[in-house]
């Protein structure tokens, strides 16, 4: 009987068998034609990596155990002890913690580049500078990076550009086509999309960088499990549909919040008033995603009243699921920053980050109206 499954089965195994020594040698001569140990490679994790690679138009990709392990892998592809790394000042708090608190202990030095100096890098690049880490859309202030301009500057300075494309997804922006060298995603977020997976992925413009990333993943034990790989690959199949809904709802919610008297400011690239709106429109294929932030009164009690009054939108410190959620950057993703850094980025007591899902937009607006009425 011939069995031809339409969907890749779950290869829930830690190890694969060989027929004989000839088969073992064939594995080492042609990796990918056979599997040996799931930390080295598994059909499910490779399927996920290959599908994301297609979406990002890369030359190779590697699935990892989380978004953070994808960031770690990306930095290690280019940097070693004694090297210097540049990082955008407006960055996910976990990324800055990794660079400042952990990689610094391994001899990798980091300098944070203020937004005003991003496209010049004047005075920041050293002889040992290896890469610049940035986000397509910054977390949590939704600043849109001009990736083509930044890539040109990095190339002129002889350094690599690594872009975290989590907030945008390849449906909105493909950084490799704009000049980036490596792209990373927290697959946990939009790529998987259902808040039931923790995973990451790295996509390279050059095949040799993808091979180096795979070596780091295997050696450091950063591999993704077969089951989570399978779940993520399943979620990926609806990415384009979901991103359209996230974007449509995001714009509707942002427009509602913008006109509400209790909302002081809204940060969403789809709004005409956003400082990078034209860039986001050009770089984003007409979509702006489902992530936004807004500011209410800078009072802890006001934030608590708002959160408690919501009936359908939970306070959940993550993002990009099919259901809407709110997060609090000051107390979660960016709590590790100094007060001076938080204030400089605009992360105040009243700043709330909203991950807009794919529910009916009017139902979301009604729930937000209820929360704002409680302030």
Q: Where are the alpha helices (DSSP H) in 63-102?
A: 67-78, 93-97
The one catalytic residue in 92, 268, 288, 328 is 92
Three-state SS for 203-239 is: EECCHHHHHHHHHHHHHHCCCCCHHHHHHHHHHHCCH
Whole-number Å distance between alpha carbons of 276 and 142: 9
The one catalytic residue in 83, 164, 181, 209 is 164
Confidence of residue 32 (pLDDT cuts 50, 70, 90): low
Whole-number Å distance between alpha carbons of 294 and 266: 4
* Residue range 89-95: mean pLDDT, rounded: 89
Q: Where in the chain is the domain with CATH 3.90.1150.10?
A: 239-373
Annotation says 295 is catalytic: no
> Is the CA virtual torsion 322, 194, 59, 61 positive or negative?
positive
Q: Which residues pair with 162 in a beta bridge?
A: 133, 182
Cβ neighbours for 307, distance < 8 A, ≥ 6 positions apart: 315, 326, 371
323-356: pLDDT as tens digits: 999 999 987 777 767 778 777 788 899 999 999 9
Domain 239-373, what fold? 3.90.1150
pLDDT in the model for residue 30: 79
Whole-number Å distance between alpha carbons of 325 and 215: 36
* Residue range 224-232: mean pLDDT, rounded: 98
53-65: pLDDT as tens digits: 999 999 999 999 9
The one catalytic residue in 130, 174, 189, 212 is 189
Annotation says 92 is catalytic: yes
Residue 64, CA atoms < 13 Å, CB-side half-sphere: 29
Confidence of residue 1 (pLDDT cuts 50, 70, 90): low
**What is the arrangement of strands in the sheet containing 182-186, beginning at the earlier edge strand?**
61-64, 200-204, 182-186, 160-164, 129-135, 84-88, 109-113
Whole-number Å distance between alpha carbons of 176 and 246: 23
Whole-number Å distance between alpha carbons of 340 and 44: 44
Annotation says 39 is catalytic: yes
Q: Where in the chain is the domain with CATH 3.40.640.10?
A: 41-236
pLDDT in the model for residue 335: 75
Q: What whole-number percentage of the chain has pLDDT above 90?
A: 87
DSSP per-residue codes, 251-320: HHHHHHHHH-TT--EEE-TTSTTSTTHHHHHHHTTT---SEEEEE--S-HHHHHHHHHH-SS--B-S---
Only one residue has tokens 């992925």, namely 201
Spacing of C-alpha 240 from chain mean position: 16
pLDDT in the model for residue 331: 77
Whole-number Å distance between alpha carbons of 83 and 244: 41
Quote helix, strand, coil % in the chain, to nearest 5: 40, 15, 45
Cβ neighbours for 328, distance < 8 A, ≥ 6 positions apart: 303, 315, 317, 351, 352, 353
Confidence of residue 363 (pLDDT cuts 50, 70, 90): very high
111-149: pLDDT as tens digits: 999 999 999 998 999 999 999 999 999 999 999 999 999
Lowest mean pLDDT among 91-100, 197-206, 347-356, 357-366: 91-100
CA angle 334, 150, 254 (to 5 degrees): 50
Across the chain, what does the average pLDDT equal? 95
258-301: pLDDT as tens digits: 999 999 999 999 999 999 999 999 998 889 999 999 999 999 99
* CATH, domain range 41-236: 3.40.640.10
Annotation says 78 is catalytic: no
Q: Which of 147, 151, 206 is closest to 172 using CA atoms? A: 147
Q: What whole-number percentage of the chain has pLDDT above 70?
A: 99
What does residue 29 show for φ and ψ, rounded to 5 degrees?
A: -80, -35
pTM exceeds 0.85 for this model = yes
Is the Cβ–Cβ distance between 298 and 328 less than 8 Å?
no
Whole-number Å distance between alpha carbons of 286 and 243: 11
């Amino acid at each position: 009987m011939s069995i031809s499954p339409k969907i890749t089965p779950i290869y829930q195994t830690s190890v694969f068998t060989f027929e004989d020594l000839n088969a073992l040698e064939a594995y080492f001569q042609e990796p990918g034609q056979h599997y040996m140990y799931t930390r080295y490679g598994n059909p499910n994790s490779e399927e996920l990596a290959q599908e994301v690679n297609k979406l990002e138009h890369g030359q190779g990709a590697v699935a990892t155990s989380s978004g953070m392990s994808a960031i770690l892998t990306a930095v290690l592809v280019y940097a070693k002890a004694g090297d210097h790394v540049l990082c955008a000042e407006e960055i996910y708090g976990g990324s800055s913690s990794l660079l400042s608190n952990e990689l610094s202990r391994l001899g990798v030095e980091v300098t944070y580049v203020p937004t005003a100096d991003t496209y010049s890098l004047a005075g920041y690049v050293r002889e040992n500078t290896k890469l610049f880490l940035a986000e397509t859309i910054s977390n949590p202030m939704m600043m849109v990076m001009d990736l083509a301009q930044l890539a040109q500057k990095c190339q002129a300075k002889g350094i690599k550009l690594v872009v975290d494309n989590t907030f945008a997804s390849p449906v909105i922006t493909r950084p490799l086509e704009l000049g980036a060298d490596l792209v990373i995603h927290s697959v946990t977020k939009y790529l998987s999309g259902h808040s039931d997976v923790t995973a990451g992925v790295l996509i390279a413009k050059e095949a040799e960088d993808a091979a180096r990333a795979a070596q780091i993943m295997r050696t450091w034990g950063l591999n993704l499990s077969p089951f989570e790989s399978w779940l993520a690959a399943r979620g990926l199949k609806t990415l384009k549909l979901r991103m359209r809904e996230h974007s449509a709802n995001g714009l509707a919610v942002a427009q509602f919040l913008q006109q509400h008297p209790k909302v002081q400011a809204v940060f969403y690239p789809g709004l005409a008033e956003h400082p990078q709106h034209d860039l986001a429109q050009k770089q984003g294929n007409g979509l702006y995603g489902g992530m936004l932030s807004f500011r209410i009164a800078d009072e802890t009690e006001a934030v608590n009243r708002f959160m408690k009054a919501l009936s359908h939108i939970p306070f959940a410190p993550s993002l990009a699921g099919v259901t809407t959620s709110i997060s609090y950057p000051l107390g979660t993703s960016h709590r590790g920053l100094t007060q001076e850094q938080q204030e400089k980025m605009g992360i105040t007591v009243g700043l709330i980050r909203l991950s807009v899902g794919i529910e009916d937009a009017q139902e979301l607006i009604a729930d937000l109206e209820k929360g704002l009425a409680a302030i």
